[in-house]
Amino acid sequence: MKVQHYKATDQNPNLNDYDKVYENFNWDEIEKNFSWSETNKFNMAYECIDKHVEDGYGDKTAFIYKNDDEKSTYTFKDMQIASNKAANVLKNEAGVEKGDRVFIFMARSPELYFSLLGTLKLGAIVGPLFEAFMEKAVKDRMENSDAKVIITTPELVGRIPVDDLPNLEKVVVVGETDNNDQVDFNAAFDKASEDFDIEWLDKEDGMILHYTSGSTGQPKGVLHVQYAMVQQYITGKYVLDLKEDDVYWCTADPGWVTGTSYGIFAPWLNRATNVVVGGRFSPESWYGAIDELNITIWYSAPTALRMLMGAGDEVLKQYDLSSLRHILSVGEPLNPEVVKWGMDVFNLRIHDTWWMTETGAHMITNFPAMDIKAGSMGKPVPGVEAAIIDDSGNELPANRMGNLALKSGWPAMMREVWKNKPKYDSYFVGEWYVSGDSAYKDEDGYYWFQGRVDDVIMTAGERVGPFEIESKLVEHPAVQEAGVIGKPDPVRGEIVKAFIALREEYDESGELKEEIRVFVKEGLAAHAAPREIEFKDKLPKTRSGKIMRRVLKAWELNLDAGDLSSMDDD
Ligand code: PRX
């Protein structure tokens, strides 16, 4: 198929000479944008909020929160006060100290952002949890990181298995609580002091712990440090193209890395107005938000864009979307049709960006100043070196498919997989960080995503590990064994599909499928529940008993399953 090219725009004149950015790029120079380059006093929350107040931007709008008809607006000064109060609540009522793990488990609301910034002001490590997580998902993550405090809401507090978490000292509830062991956040917040002495940190001190999935084992805690801000700041400037007057909306929830690196840090480090829209997706609410708030920069994901595309022109025409000047996408392959749709309806290019929880910030993107080849993720950002390598770490020439790898040493790189050094080490081949994605690079240096090398599933932009779902499935009394794969889907990219062998006493039925689906949904998370279940008499396994997902996938796609010599076919 012919690749469609879309010419560079002149939206950022400073970047129009794309190659110049590279020539002059040097991380040490970027550091000079921060006062800590002289004082050595690090704190992400300070750089996001207080610094701007000190620089005279206290009255500028920092944050707009919208949910249905509710809308609240906060200046940088308001955010400074609110995050100070939240820090005081967490310190005085919950005993939070530097280095503690503080989880935040709630739907998007202003308090989520106040308490996240407050946690950072205390020098504690934030663990954001997606609101859809159910008891097991919450427990595994909090247990692994010995979380000391969790901030949540009355709707979700019942999913925290307090008795199974010996290190958990305090549950902070934003909303009504009549449990005296819990902290009533709102009551304490109203009384809290507006002043707070920020805890100054070292650049390598822990900042945020995002749990993410691989193909084996429980989710891993990916730790990012304060220093990540250097890259989050500069990619916010160069890739998101954030400028003083922008009204920026990142649609991701802070339970996922996009919702923190680019839903909190990058916009506020760049002093932009950051919009958060709560509630569920619908074309009306999303287009409505752009129209009402005059969003200028919009960062979203292919599944949402495909849903909007599918919703058609009728709904689109009801809104004035002319405020938009820059659109970006992340999380899954961005289809050329969607890029074309973006040109047709917004007269704007949709800029794909590629990165991972582990990388902490953008790695490969389409810059405003680059020509876009629809279907390509773009090129490495300045300061990042990428390559396609074979399994031994040798670089492959152009147009050869292989492992997408990055040369170690960018600022936002994870520093640790929590309590799991072998897992951390397993990412590397020599000096290369190996992403787990396969891709190729064309003769112009553009990267083209081909798929995951492992069994990780990307569904609607969310990364789910088959192992976590399989473990939950086998807890159901009817399930003897289970294998989970991602099945290609035109809207969601992939959907979760489970192959299940039932215990002898159980008969296959539609009701049982539904019961098993609900069991995962209510025990683990809605997005992890298999949309499709297929019963099998037995599942393909290796002689050592490991389920061969590769064979399940081949069954599903009617492909040749390849080398089956390790399969146990008794
Ligand atoms: O497979 C790639 C896919 O998402 C994975 C990372 O998932 P996660 O850590 O949840 O982070 C998602 C958002 C930062 C990658 O290994 N992925 C991410 N961006 C793209 C992508 N696949 C194709 N195109 C992208 N632009």
pLDDT tens string 164-211: 999 999 999 999 999 999 999 999 999 999 999 999 999 999 999 999
pLDDT band at 14 (very low <50, low <70, confident <90, very high): low
Q: Is the pLDDT confidence value at 247 over 60?
A: yes
Using the atom order of ligand 1, give the atom closest to the CA of residue 252.
Answer: 13
Tell me which DSSP letter residue 381 carries.
Answer: P
Using the atom order of ligand 1, give the atom closest to the CA of residue 456.
Answer: 1
Q: Is the pLDDT confidence value at 570 over 60?
A: no
Q: Which domains does the chain have, with CATH numbers?
A: 42-55+68-225 (3.40.50.12780), 459-557 (3.30.300.30)
Length of the chain: 570
Is the CB of residue 370 less than 8 Å from the CB of residue 355? no
Classified as helix, coil or strand, 518 is helix
Taken in order 427, 429, 433, 439, the sign of the CA dihedral is negative
| Number of C-beta neighbours around residue 543 at 10 A | 11
Q: Mutate which of 449, 450, 462 to test ligand 1's pocket (most atoms within 8 Å of Cβ)?
A: 449
pLDDT tens string 92-143: 999 999 999 999 999 999 999 999 999 999 999 999 999 999 999 999 999 9
pLDDT tens string 423-477: 999 999 999 999 999 999 999 999 999 999 989 999 998 999 999 999 999 999 9
Ligand 1: distance of its center to the CA of 375 in Å?
14
Q: How far apart are CA 353 and CA 252, in angstroms?
A: 14
- Outline where 224-375 has alpha helix (H): 229-238, 258-260, 266-269, 283-293, 302-311, 313-316, 336-346
CA angle 185, 186, 191 (to 5 degrees): 100
Residue of the CA atom closest to atom 14 of ligand 1: 356
Ligand 1: distance of its center to the CA of 449 in Å?
10
pLDDT tens string 281-296: 999 999 999 999 999 9
Q: Mutate which of 355, 372, 494 to test ligand 1's pocket (most atoms within 8 Å of Cβ)?
A: 355
Residue of the CA atom closest to atom 10 of ligand 1: 463
Distance between start and end Cα atoms, the chain: 45
Ligand 1: distance of its center to the CA of 342 in Å?
21
Classified as helix, coil or strand, 191 is helix
Q: Mutate which of 354, 438, 462 to test ligand 1's pocket (most atoms within 8 Å of Cβ)?
A: 354
Is the CB of residue 348 less than 8 Å from the CB of residue 300? no
Q: How far apart are CA 55 and CA 77, in angstroms?
A: 11
pLDDT at residue number 90: 98
**pTM for this one?**
0.93
What are the residues facing 489 on neighbouring strands?
Answer: 493
Q: How far apart are CA 91 and CA 118, in angstroms?
A: 9
pLDDT band at 15 (very low <50, low <70, confident <90, very high): low
H/E segment holding residue 237: helix 229-238
Is the CB of residue 482 less than 8 Å from the CB of residue 520? no
pLDDT at residue number 543: 77
pLDDT at residue number 428: 97
Using the atom order of ligand 1, give the atom closest to the CA of residue 210.
Answer: 9
pLDDT at residue number 541: 87
pLDDT at residue number 424: 97
